[in-house]
């Protein structure tokens, strides 16, 4: 079918224009989120490990992409949270090292505005902070859940005990939603082209290209969507998820190391593309994409476990009371002690 000239021009412009960043496509995100839940240890609360939790969190894996296109101000405010444009030297705009991320988005943005040329978090992406913020939120969810468990049986009045039982049910629903939505960004960070300035073609005009990598504007989608659809299943990814490995390092330090590991595979993607492996679904391309999906699932699983561990040391309510004090019996949970006293 021949296109009218105007329509043909518009289609050509769309093909040439950068597409919104959609790491892994919906199938890849469902696989990462589902595989992470399937590999959680028994030390994590059962409500996070149930079949229902798996199905809900896997379904929510693509959610942050599904809401794209909502309009202003949501899209321009949120879209940069899906990526970070990392240079080949492991820095953002040559001023922020992934190995030494500033402690907040505000500090990160300030550093980028001092780069030459000046940039900001919206220009370079703020994926590390989307992951770290989500982790803090889940750890806080789990801290309140711990208190709800105690309060449902130990609160001093029947009215308070009923409150904590209900709050626990709501908190579980909120936690599953928070984990599911956050899982999207942890998954984004395992896709090499989401943590690189070479996100969709090498751009030899701007960056050194000694291996003559492709400047194709379709490589991103061919790797993360077409290849995943052809070769990946949740079972195959679960089989490649490494053993649990938690850390006591600050979450931003862990995120920086995770992103650096992902960025190291950017040349691998381009070499496979040059060899025709992405389109041919070669063994090497299949291995890389399954390993990257498994890396995302492992990171999500590890961070969920760490959030659970950190929740025991949290303080909640107004004024703050240690979760450990409620669990040990040193403090008695009431609605007032968890912020409902006014």
pLDDT of 7 over the 70 cut: no
pLDDT of 327 over the 90 cut: yes
Provide mean pLDDT across the span 117-130. 98
Return the residue matching tokens 């030459």.
116
**What's the pLDDT tens digit per position in 153-203?**
999 999 999 999 999 999 999 999 999 999 999 999 999 999 999 999 999
Provide mean pLDDT across the span 11-16. 37
C-alpha span between 63 and 300 (Å, rounded): 16
Answer for the pair 85, 196: CB distance below 8 angstroms, yes or no.
Answer: yes
- pLDDT, residue 11, reads 36
Domains along the chain with CATH numbers: 43-338 (1.10.575)
Sign of CA dihedral 86, 70, 18, 33: positive
**What's the pLDDT tens digit per position in 281-299?**
999 999 999 999 999 999 9
- pLDDT, residue 62, reads 98
Provide mean pLDDT across the span 5-21. 38
Return the residue matching tokens 């303080």.
315
Provide mean pLDDT across the span 30-53. 98
Looking at the chain, which runs of residues are DSSP E strands? 91-92, 96-97, 315-316, 321-322
pLDDT of 139 over the 60 cut: yes
C-alpha span between 30 and 182 (Å, rounded): 12
- pLDDT, residue 318, reads 83
Identify the band that residue 275 occupies on the pLDDT scale cut at 50, 70 and 90: very high
- pLDDT, residue 12, reads 38
pLDDT of 8 over the 80 cut: no
Dig out the tokens for 39 from the structure.
Answer: 């590999």
Q: What is the pTM of this model?
A: 0.93
Provide mean pLDDT across the span 230-253. 98
- pLDDT, residue 14, reads 34
Answer for the pair 138, 179: CB distance below 8 angstroms, yes or no.
Answer: yes
**What's the pLDDT tens digit per position in 142-164?**
999 999 999 999 999 999 999 99
């Amino acid at each position: 079918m021949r296109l009218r000239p105007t329509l043909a021009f518009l289609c050509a412009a769309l093909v040439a224009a950068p597409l919104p960043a959609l790491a892994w496509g919906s199938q890849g995100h469902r696989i990462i989120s589902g595989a992470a839940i399937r590999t959680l240890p028994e030390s994590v609360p059962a409500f996070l490990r149930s079949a229902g939790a798996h199905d809900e969190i896997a379904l929510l894996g693509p959610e942050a992409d599904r809401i794209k296109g909502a309009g202003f101000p949501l899209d321009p405010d949120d879209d940069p949270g899906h990526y970070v444009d990392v240079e080949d030297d492991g820095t953002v705009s040559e001023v922020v090292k992934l190995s030494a991320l500033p402690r907040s988005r505000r500090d990160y943005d300030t550093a980028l505005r001092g780069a030459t040329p000046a940039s900001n978090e919206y220009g370079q992406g703020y994926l590390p902070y989307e992951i770290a913020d989500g982790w803090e939120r889940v750890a806080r969810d789990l801290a309140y859940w711990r208190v709800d468990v105690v309060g449902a049986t130990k609160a001093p009045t029947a009215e308070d005990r009923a409150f904590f039982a209900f709050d626990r049910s709501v908190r579980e629903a909120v936690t599953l939603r928070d984990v599911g939505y956050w899982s999207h960004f942890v998954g984004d960070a395992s896709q090499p082209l989401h943590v690189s300035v070479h996100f969709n073609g090498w751009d030899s005009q701007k960056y050194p290209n000694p291996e003559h990598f492709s400047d194709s504007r379709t490589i991103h989608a061919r790797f993360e969507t077409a290849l995943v659809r052809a070769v990946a299943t949740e079972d195959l990814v679960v089989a490649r998820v490494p053993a649990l490995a938690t850390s006591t390092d600050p979450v931003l330090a862990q995120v920086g190391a995770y992103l650096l590991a992902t960025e190291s595979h950017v040349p691998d993607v381009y070499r496979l593309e040059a060899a025709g492996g992405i389109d041919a679904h070669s063994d090497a391309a299949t291995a890389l994409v399954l390993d990257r999906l498994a890396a995302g699932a492992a990171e999500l699983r590890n961070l969920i476990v760490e959030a659970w561990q950190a929740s025991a040391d949290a303080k909640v309510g107004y004024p703050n009371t240690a979760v450990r004090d409620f669990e040990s019996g040193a403090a008695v949970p009431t609605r007032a002690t968890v912020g409902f006293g006014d």
